[in-house]
Structure 1
Amino acid sequence: MNSLDHWNWRLTPGQQASPEQLDLQKAKQFLTQNHIRYVLAQFVDIHGVAKSKSVPVDHLEDILTDGVGFAGGGVHGLRLEPHESEYMLVGDLSTLKLLPWAPGYARVMGTGTVDGKPHPIDTRNILKAQTARLSERGWVLNTGIEPEFSLFQRTADGSVCPLDDTDCLQKPAYDYRGLSRVRVFLERVTESLQALGIDVYQIDHEDANGQYEINFKYADAVTSADNIILFKMAAAEIAHELGAICSFMPKPKSSMTGNGMHIHCSLADAEGRNIFHDKSDTSGMGLSKLAYSFTAGILAHAKALTALLAPSVNSYKRLVVGRTASGTTWAPVFVAYGDNNRTAMVRIPYGRIELRVGDSGMNPYLAQAALIAAGLDGIDRNLDPGPPQNINFYALTPREIADRKIDVLPQSLGEAITALEQSDFFRSALGADFIDEFVSHKRDEWIDYHRHVSDWETKRYLSFF
């Protein structure tokens, strides 16, 4: 960890890292004042991984007018063939941000277009289409997304272990030493986010050795997704510079808790009031009738929704019933909701909803688009989620859970993809072409996984028969 000890990075006092409501001329002045040489024109692929072209700052206006062209066939999930039109990213000036961890660089996101029209397979466009449905009703979905991650170093034999090799407690959650000994990384990431105007309000050591979480204030759904991408960029690059690996893999080690990405959410009206909150709620959870119907929509589409929130083979090593070495699990597999119940897929903090299924490998645009679609379906059909389940599901036997008529989430990517493929609702809400593309990619991943022979299989069966 010597590389951590010599890091003296700090923001310049008074530096402002994100322009607000700037016109083009002011944006150019802002970039000049901050010595920006290149602007990354940026979008994400179907997996939520950032893709970019580096554009000299003198051509900022081109990004905003003509757009920046990409060969769509070279990117996962755009469903564009090599002979078809370019994928053009037309920048949105309001997304212009400096990158404090990459001096001289800024980034801008925007609308992905093909032949001058928003591309329906672009997951940021899919989210914007769902938020537009909310806007028609005078609503905004505010989300606070909680990314968990693992901070590793690679050992001589090629394996990975926690960056802090003294982080070895059996129950390390909230441990001071585990937090303090990687503080240089955590401080630098936090200060980068703060410089971008992202309000970080707490940082903690999570339940596994080498696992952390940085929480920042809620925003509207599109901005929240944009912020998650910025966070992942910052964390990955800062870790790399410090000789570490910042992993968002859902379940990096079988003996450790997985990396979740919980979504706290509420709907706000035109005045900014939380319309999920109703202090007269007799249950004591502070939810409005609208919030209950939104929750019911999530539960009604839970299995297909899981494919979009837990989108990898590895995700389902996290979504299993059982206990971890530290004594509990934070990845609920039960289709239920409850008052502050972390063993149900939907937890109710007072006056809002927390969806706990998603992991840090999810595409935040796609996950939130699916969340909005499912919740609105619950509202439109006036669904009832039934009574809250305020019990520890992990203390019940499978028979006791079945007797309560509580369903279980898919236990493999294959099962989840089948549920999504058979969902006429999501095919209609998110687009049949997109669902077909997503299912195709994930079917290939599932088949490829099944062709792989693991070390576990070799150890168990090599001389068994």
Structure 2
Amino acid sequence: MLQADHWTWRRVPGQYATPTNLDVASAKQFLAQNHIRYVLAQFADIYGVAKSKAVPVEHFEDVLTDGVGFAGGGVFGMRLAPHEPEYMVVGDLSTLTLVPWAPGYARVMGTGMVNGKPHPIDTRNILKAQMARLSERGWTLLTGIEPEFSLLQKLPDGSIAPFDSTDSLQKPAYDYRGLSRARTFLERVTECLQSLGIDVYQIDHEDANGQYEINFKYADALTSADQILLFKMAAAEIAHELGAVCSFMPKPKSSMTGNGMHIHCSIADAAGKNIFHDASDKNGMGLSQLAYHFIGGLLTHARALTALLAPSVNSYKRLVIGRTASGTTWAPVFVAYGDNNRTAMVRIPYGRIELRVGDSGMNPYLAQAALIAAGLDGIDRKLDPGPPQNINFYALTPAEIKAKNIQILPQSLSEAIEALDQSELFRKTLGGDFIDEFVSLKREEWLDYHRHVSDWETQRYLSFF
């Protein structure tokens, strides 16, 4: 259990926030004022994992001009062979951020370039391309991403357990003691984010033992993805310092709920107005016709979309039909939407949309790029999502679900990847080379898993026959 006397570290909200509209000279001054010695030049690989080089601050300007070179063949998903040109990360000055848990360090996200051109398989570039499609219409996608995670410890026998050994309730959601006894970790992560000007508005104990969620204010989709990457870095390193493991694995334990990463979204016009909102909505959900078409796109492309929102073998231990020890999985597999309906893949908080399929293992750049592509297809083709389904899908039998003509999301990575591979929309919008690379890597992942002989199989079959 985390003890408060292990930690005397405190930050003032906004204390280390990066000034807006920086130029190179003021950025250098900002770094000097904060005694920065190294700048991490970063990008996200195809899995959404932060990749970095540490650059001495004296060479910070080089990050913004020439960029930082990486051997593309050493990173998953770049489609760059060892004999091909360097993958260059050219720093985006607007992303310059201090790293409060590592004094003396800052980080800057970059644009992935090859031969002087944006690399089409760089996941941040893929999201930027989809955001540009919105920008052509005068629109911006605003998202609030909700990361769930597990705070765990590794036991001597190699198994895992909640880091707080007293966190053992059958139904622990919102439990005060479970929240309080992890407060050292939770406060430190929260205050790290707050010190950078990221507005954290609530923290809670989730539905599984050792599971938590920290929510911060919405932003444009690119900023949201950058912040999720920063949050994961902070959570992992602070947990490590405290002797814990912060896991974003979608389903760490079969009997409990998994770690979701729900995406709340709306589209703002050039004036900042939420064009998903319409108070005259006859369904009482505050949605505009454009929002309904957007939902139609999400539902139409749900099966292929799932491959990018739930991108691992383990994801499909979370996306199942059934119950857990606490009563429900909270992971909707039903291709439907409804008013505040947490059993459907799309929930409607008044005037906006929540996509609940994604898990904490997703790449937030790819997930949001696919969200835009599917939603815009719904808008352009005026796809009808049908009537809202304000029912508890968990309470229905398979026959009742089938009678309502409700589809089920893929139940394995293999099934989802096949749907993605066949998607003309995602090949066209996200790029055929990217889809081929992602599908290839994920087929290898599925094959490795499928050929692995698990403990379950040994226990069941060793002496069975």
Normalising to structure 1: TM-score of the pair?
0.99
Q: What is the CA deviation profile of residues 291-326 of structure 1, one whole-angstrom value per residue up to 9, with x for unaligned ones?
A: 000000000000000000000000000000011101
1:13, distance to aligned residue in structure 2 (A): 8.3
- Name the SS of the counterpart of 2:227 in structure 1: helix
Letter in 2 for 1:413: L
Letter in 1 for 2:370: A
Letter in 2 for 1:356: R
Matched, 1:37 2:34: no
Q: Distance in 1 between matches of 2:443 and 2:278?
A: 43
Query: What does residue range 57-72 of structure 1 map to in structure 2 within 5 Å?
Result: 57-72=57-72
Q: Distance in 2 between matches of 1:71 and 1:30?
A: 30
Q: Is the 8 A contact 2:14 2:197 kept in 1?
A: no
Letter in 2 for 1:428: K
Matched, 1:96 2:96: yes
Aligned to 1:75: 75
Aligned to 2:171: 171
Q: Distance in 1 between matches of 2:162 and 2:221?
A: 32
Letter in 1 for 2:88: M
Letter in 1 for 2:230: L
- Name the SS of the counterpart of 2:94 in structure 1: helix
- Name the SS of the counterpart of 1:365 in structure 2: helix
Aligned to 1:376: 376
Identity of aligned residues (%): 82
Q: Is the 8 A contact 1:4 1:242 kept in 2?
A: no
Matched, 1:424 2:421: no
Q: Is the 8 A contact 1:151 1:162 kept in 2?
A: yes
Aligned to 1:318: 318
Aligned to 1:407: 407
Aligned to 2:235: 235
Q: Is the 8 A contact 1:4 1:182 kept in 2?
A: no
Query: What does residue range 52-451 of structure 1 map to in structure 2 within 5 Å?
Result: 52-451=52-451
Q: Is the 8 A contact 2:2 2:181 kept in 1?
A: no
Q: What is the CA deviation profile of residues 201-227 of structure 1, one whole-angstrom value per residue up to 9, with x for unaligned ones?
A: 000000000000000000000000000
Q: What is the CA deviation profile of residues 359-391 of structure 1, one whole-angstrom value per residue up to 9, with x for unaligned ones?
A: 000000000000000000000001110000000
CA pair 411-126 structure 1, distance change in 2 beyond 3 A: same
- The number of residue pairs the alignment matches comes to 465
Q: Distance in 2 between matches of 1:365 and 1:150?
A: 22
Q: Is the 8 A contact 2:297 2:378 kept in 1?
A: yes
Runs of 4+ in 1 over 6 A off after TM superposition: none
Letter in 2 for 1:377: D
Q: Distance in 2 between matches of 1:9 and 1:122?
A: 36
1:15, distance to aligned residue in structure 2 (A): 2.7
- Name the SS of the counterpart of 1:40 in structure 2: strand
1:11, distance to aligned residue in structure 2 (A): 2.1
Q: Distance in 2 between matches of 1:175 and 1:38?
A: 41
Question: 105-114 or 17-26, which moves further after superposition?
Answer: 17-26
Q: What is the CA deviation profile of residues 91-116 of structure 1, one whole-angstrom value per residue up to 9, with x for unaligned ones?
A: 01110000000000000012100000
- Name the SS of the counterpart of 1:234 in structure 2: helix
Q: Is the 8 A contact 1:174 1:205 kept in 2?
A: yes
- Name the SS of the counterpart of 2:437 in structure 1: helix
Q: Distance in 2 between matches of 1:72 and 1:429?
A: 23
Q: Distance in 1 between matches of 2:363 and 2:16?
A: 28
Query: What does residue range 46-57 of structure 1 map to in structure 2 within 5 Å?
Result: 46-57=46-57
Letter in 2 for 1:243: G
Q: Distance in 1 between matches of 2:357 and 2:376?
A: 19
Q: Is the 8 A contact 1:3 1:242 kept in 2?
A: no
Q: Distance in 2 between matches of 1:2 and 1:305?
A: 39
Q: What is the CA deviation profile of residues 49-81 of structure 1, one whole-angstrom value per residue up to 9, with x for unaligned ones?
A: 000000000111100000000000000001100
CA pair 288-14 structure 1, distance change in 2 beyond 3 A: closer
1:158, distance to aligned residue in structure 2 (A): 1.6
- Name the SS of the counterpart of 1:338 in structure 2: strand
CA pair 163-39 structure 1, distance change in 2 beyond 3 A: same
1:27, distance to aligned residue in structure 2 (A): 0.7
- Name the SS of the counterpart of 1:417 in structure 2: helix
Question: Structure 1, unaligned stretches of length 5 or more?
Answer: none
1:19, distance to aligned residue in structure 2 (A): 2.5
1:195, distance to aligned residue in structure 2 (A): 1.0
Q: What is the CA deviation profile of residues 244-303 of structure 1, one whole-angstrom value per residue up to 9, with x for unaligned ones?
A: 000000000001100000000000000111000000001000000000000000000000
- Name the SS of the counterpart of 2:369 in structure 1: helix
1:4, distance to aligned residue in structure 2 (A): 5.1
- Name the SS of the counterpart of 2:166 in structure 1: coil
Question: Structure 2, unaligned stretches of length 5 or more?
Answer: none
CA pair 417-16 structure 1, distance change in 2 beyond 3 A: same
Normalising to structure 2: TM-score of the pair?
0.99
Q: Distance in 2 between matches of 1:258 and 1:61?
A: 42
Q: What is the CA deviation profile of residues 379-412 of structure 1, one whole-angstrom value per residue up to 9, with x for unaligned ones?
A: 0001110000000001000000000000000000
Q: Distance in 2 between matches of 1:12 and 1:301?
A: 44
What root-mean-square deviation, in Å, do the aligned CA atoms of Structure 1 and Structure 2 show?
0.9
Q: Distance in 2 between matches of 1:119 and 1:314?
A: 29
1:12, distance to aligned residue in structure 2 (A): 6.0
1:14, distance to aligned residue in structure 2 (A): 7.3
Q: Distance in 1 between matches of 2:19 and 2:455?
A: 51
Q: Distance in 1 between matches of 2:81 and 2:395?
A: 51
Question: 153-162 or 314-323, which moves further after superposition?
Answer: 153-162
Aligned to 1:15: 15
Q: Is the 8 A contact 2:12 2:191 kept in 1?
A: no
CA pair 383-87 structure 1, distance change in 2 beyond 3 A: same
